[in-house]
Amino acid sequence: MFDSVAAQIVFYLVAVTTVGFGAIVAFSRNIVYSAFALVGSLMGVAGVYIMLAADFVAMVQVLLYVGGIVVLTIFAVMLTQGIGDVAVSNRAAGPVLGFIMTALAGAVMLLAILRTPWHLAAPVSISATTYGVGNAFLGAYVLPFEIASLVLLAALIGAVVISRQDLQRDADPRQDAAVRPPAASSADAPGKVEG
Amino acid sequence: MGGGITLDHFLVLGLIVFLLGAYCVLTRRNAIGILMGIELLLNAANINYLAFAYFGGARYDGQVFAIFVIMLAAAEAVIGLAIILAIYQNLRTIDVDATETLSG
């Protein structure tokens, strides 16, 4: 399938990108460096997806992960950290113990990968996958697809409710009850949007 | 190498990404760093999904599951970062060792 020299070069290039930036994510002591290295690692993973003939998944990866989640993560880093103290904000706890546990788990999984006789099928032809993915989403996987939209809606509402401070204060009747006008009685309306 | 890129190559790549993510989750004290490690773990799982989909013949099933994983990772990141922001507003820190209000 990937027998040509060019395919090997591309694979190792993509793999080194993914692993290298992933190592920065895991080992950097600066949380901002970690957040930006996550962009490179996820782009490398998108390259792996393209190698595996999954063009639509690769585009979803770039749009959602690199464009959405990483930007959100960088926002959170900037909102929660003073830029001056980022050097000490990312320190590791128990690196030796963590390394030992990770190495043990990795050895077991490597053994499992190399020893298992994987069932291999004939290689699929390289073609656009959007037709098949769309058919799968609206055919066999239509129920998980709809439930996923409910999950996303719940996550959106939950994120708004959790992260807005004034909503939390409205939901808690013990705080500043004295200064609140009695007619408002916001304790009865925790979902009030106008903060 | 020598015999071309096989399924094992992709599985080992996924394993390395998984181990990096696991190490990140285990050793970070910064809650956002832990979330980044979780995202590396989810990407490792996705690499395995697509590798098995490509080499195992069940093509669209693996891709659909990979898209589900990406979708749920987005929801997880949104909720996780909202919780981290709420913790930061209350405690002025996101060090997971400092958020021990519930411990006895």
Residue B99 domain flag: no
Buried b (16+ CB within 10 A) or exposed e, A6-37: eebebbeebbebbbebbbbbbbbeebbebbbb
Residue B39 domain flag: yes
Structure tokens at B26: 């285990």
- What is the model's pTM? 0.81
Residue of chain A nearest B25, judged by CA positions = A26
- Region of poorest pLDDT, from A2-6, A50-54, A151-155, B16-20: A2-6
Residue B53 domain flag: yes
Number of domains in chain B: 1
Using alpha carbons, select from B6, B19, B23 the residue that is nearest to residue B45: B19
- Nearest-CA distance from A188 to chain B in Å? 22
Select the residue from A16, A19, A57 to test the B interface by mutation, using most B Cβ atoms within 10 A: A57
8 Å CB contact of A45 and B17:
yes
Enumerate the β-bridge partners of residue B95: B30
Q: Reply yes or no on whether the pLDDT at A119 is more than 50.
A: yes
Residue B23 domain flag: yes
State pLDDT tens for residues B11-55. Answer: 999 999 999 999 998 888 788 888 999 999 999 999 999 998 888
Residue of chain B nearest A150, judged by CA positions = B75
In whole angstroms, give the CA distance from residue A9 to residue A43: 17
Residue B41 domain flag: yes
Fold entry, domain A1-90: Four Helix Bundle (Hemerythrin (Met), subunit A) (1.20.120)
Structural domain boundaries in chain A: 1-90, 141-177+184-195
In whole angstroms, give the CA distance from residue B101 to residue A101: 28
> What's the CATH number where B27 sits?
1.10.287.3510
Cα torsion angle, A145, B31, B43, A67, sign: positive
The parent domain of residue B26 ranges over 7-91
Residue B32 domain flag: yes
